[in-house]
Structure 1
Amino acid sequence: MMALQLNDIQIRDPFVLPLPEANEYLLFGSTDPNIWSGPATGFDCYRSTDLLHWEGPVPAFRPLPGFWSHEQFWAPEVHRYQGRFFMFATFSAPGHFRGTQILSADRPEGPYTPWSDGPVTPRNWQCLDGTLHVDADGAPWMVFCHEWKQVHDGTVMAQRLSPDLRQAEGTPVLLFRGSEAPWSRPLQVPSTAELDFPAYVTDGPYLHRLSSGSLIMLWSSFGDHGYAMGIARSGSGTVLGPWRQEDGPLWGTDGGHGMIARTFNGQLFLTLHQPNNSPHERASFHHLKELEDTVVLAPPSTGIGNSGTTPGRQAL
């Protein structure tokens, strides 16, 4: 395996899984050189002990013959749940709607194999970016996006999952629409030029419970300066909200699809990809300051990594 720094790793939708028992971090994401077209290879992960220097790639998922999807493998997240590791990832195929399927492994780096029987998002919906959230009562939910390509004003939805994460239970619940955020802007691409109504993107939801007990959600769309990421707050402290949007984005310039993690010394940091155009996207990490009911970007202090280096493109 190669010794790498962040600038060496092309990755979208980065997701960091801290492993305190091993004193290491795993970095997952959309790692095919071209995730937009052509045959997909799978998902890789990278490992680090200091969030600065990385080893990899490690093949975390490779589809077996007969797997239903062969293209557009997106946004893998890995969550520890009931003694196993579960990957939530987006797949697509001709004749099938895009959706999030759940994979599983007994080791955090994989190899991951299918756990759910195909996508757990509705089979006749265009969906993406499912994330696991275990609510305060212990119930597992998947929060995902109903894609703008089908509903035009993209939405963020919540779907109850069975306790073993094998299947969906009940019907999806609407949490909010992309147009509800004051900072979000209609998508401006050729495919929307002839629409009679604006199209709003919803991407990459990720829920985080603050020390105060408040529940927030990161999610991405487009703002005044390209791809961006904002925060919604749950008024009830549960996944069902109601969700209230912050006025401005947490990250407003050509970057997004993020998540929140902690270093082994307790520092909170934001993970996102920047810029948003392929093949130049890289993981980027930034200090966060936790407030009573939200988080804000904080200036570097002692650094994110175990070595005390400032976070950013070169150092996680």
Structure 2
Amino acid sequence: MNVYNAASDIANPGAGYKLADIPAHDPYVVADKATGTYYLYTGGSPKLHGMDYYGVLAYRSRNLEDWDGPYVVFRIPEGVWANPQHGAWAPEVHAYGGRYYLFVTLHNNDRPLEGEAHGSGYRLHWRGTAIAVSDSLDGPFELVKQDAPIPPEHLMTLDGTLHIDDEGTPWMVYCHEWIQTADGTMEAVRLKEDLSDRASEPVHLFSGSEAPWDNGEHSPDSARSTYVTDGCQLYRTSGNRLVMLWSTYEEGSYVQTIARSVSGRLEGPWEQLEPLVFDDSGHGMLFQTFEGNWMLILHSPFRMPESRCKLYEMTDTGATFRVKAARTDLDGSRVDNAAD
């Protein structure tokens, strides 16, 4: 096994890495059948990866066990609404209209928003998901909108994902930050057909406090409790049920959970199901292997640089997805922290 050397990776991508070797947050996997290659996308930073600016990295694998990389597929350019030195979160890549679209949360801490932040030490500033496009999964990706994020810029948002509804209309589903709302929410905006901008006002889907357990932070010196919403991802089961993966907390520990639309439509209403994985694990997404098996990839623990990707084989019950087995043989972890 090669030893992960973050300082040299940008100039000299390596081979033979295991997921346990790679610091990663908010992982996203694309299974490219044309080349028989799995692409893993995660954020890249100056501190951890020696980059000049924040951006997005990709790793590649043929078997989900041995990975090469990282390769830089996106760097935040100068002269746009986001500050290249302030972070790139939750990258994910979607095939759409014959091209590949990168959704990534960017920041500008120097552009404040009006209002009072919830939570000690936080302040409201520009944060939202941008969209960039490329003709290749290897990038480079270029922003389609440079003056503002896709969701309304007066909202502090993150973790935008692409959803195509039954009519073929593209949507961005995203999280509205608890820092601004206290009770974080899931919201959606309809997108223009070419994904260049939003085409509607936000639609409320559900609130973080609707989790089926007490996931709030109840500070004695705070006027309101706070509830986190993170990492939304939408899928159809074999029974045509629309479900959403999302993440929140339980007593300070990250949790991977799942919700289901009662109506089968994005607008809901949404019902909250039992969590999938506990023990400071979350921001997961589902993908199918080249053999047709459903897999969940997430990160655990929450904090970088300790965070690593974990893999779980999943069962599609028709009504929802459930954890079948932790794939420690692939990711190198030793603890099965799936919900019973």
Q: Tell me if TM exceeds 0.5.
A: yes
CA contact (8 A) 1:102 1:120 kept: yes
- 1:167 is the counterpart of 2:197: yes
Matches within 5 A, 1:1-316: 1-3=13-15, 4-32=17-45, 40-68=53-81, 69-70=83-84, 71-93=86-108, 94-95=110-111, 96-117=125-146, 118-187=148-217, 194-224=221-251, 226-246=253-273, 248-299=274-325, 310-313=329-332
CA contact (8 A) 1:183 1:224 kept: no
How far did residue 34 of structure 1 move?
A: 5.3
How many angstroms apart in 1 are the aligned matches of 2:211 and 2:47? 30
Partner AA of 2:239 in structure 1: S
* 1:115–1:153 Cα change, 3 Å: same
What CA distance in whole angstroms lies between the structure 1 residues aligned with 2:246 and 2:220? 25
Q: Deviations over 1:234-276 (max 9, x none)?
A: 1111211111001x31111111001000000001010100111
Q: Which moved more, 1:48-57 or 1:222-231?
A: 222-231
Deviation, 1:8, is 1.7
User: What is the alpha-carbon distance in structure 1 between the residues aligned to residue 178 and residue 163 of structure 2?
Assistant: 23
Contact 1:285 1:313 in 2 (8 A): no
Q: CA RMSD in A?
A: 2.0
Q: How far apart, CA to CA, are the structure 1 residues paired with 2:46 and 2:65?
A: 22
8 Å CA contact 1:201, 1:222 repeated in 2: yes
Query: TM-score normalised to the size of structure 2?
Result: 0.84
Name stretches of at least 5 consecutive residues in structure 2 with no aligned partner. Answer: 1-12, 112-124, 335-340
Structure 2 CA distance for aligned equivalents of residues 297 and 312 of structure 1 = 16
Secondary structure in 1 matching 2:209 = helix
Alpha carbons of structure 1 residues 92 and 212: separation in structure 2 relative to 1, 3 Å: same
Q: Could you tell me how far apart the structure 2 residues matched to 1:313 and 1:223 are?
A: 25
Structure 1 residues 254-311: Cα deviation after superposition (integer angstroms, max 9, x where no partner):
11001000000001010100111221001111010111211111036xx6xxxxx834
In the aligned structure 2, how far is the partner of 1:63 from the partner of 1:97?
A: 15
Question: What SS is found at the alignment partner of 2:180?
Answer: helix
More strand, by proportion: 1
Q: Is the 8 A contact 1:260 1:271 kept in 2?
A: yes
What is the percent sequence identity of the aligned residues? 40
**Alignment CA distance shift 1:314-1:45 (3 Å):** farther
CA contact (8 A) 1:221 1:228 kept: yes
SS of the residue corresponding to residue 202 of structure 2 reads: strand
Letter in 1 for 2:243: I
- The letter of the residue matching 2:61 is S
Tell me, in whole angstroms, the C-alpha distance in 2 between the residues paired with 1:59 and 1:299. 32
Q: How far 1:6 sits from its partner (Å)?
A: 0.9
Q: What's the offset of the Cα at 1:41? A: 2.5
Q: TM-score, normalization: structure 1? A: 0.91
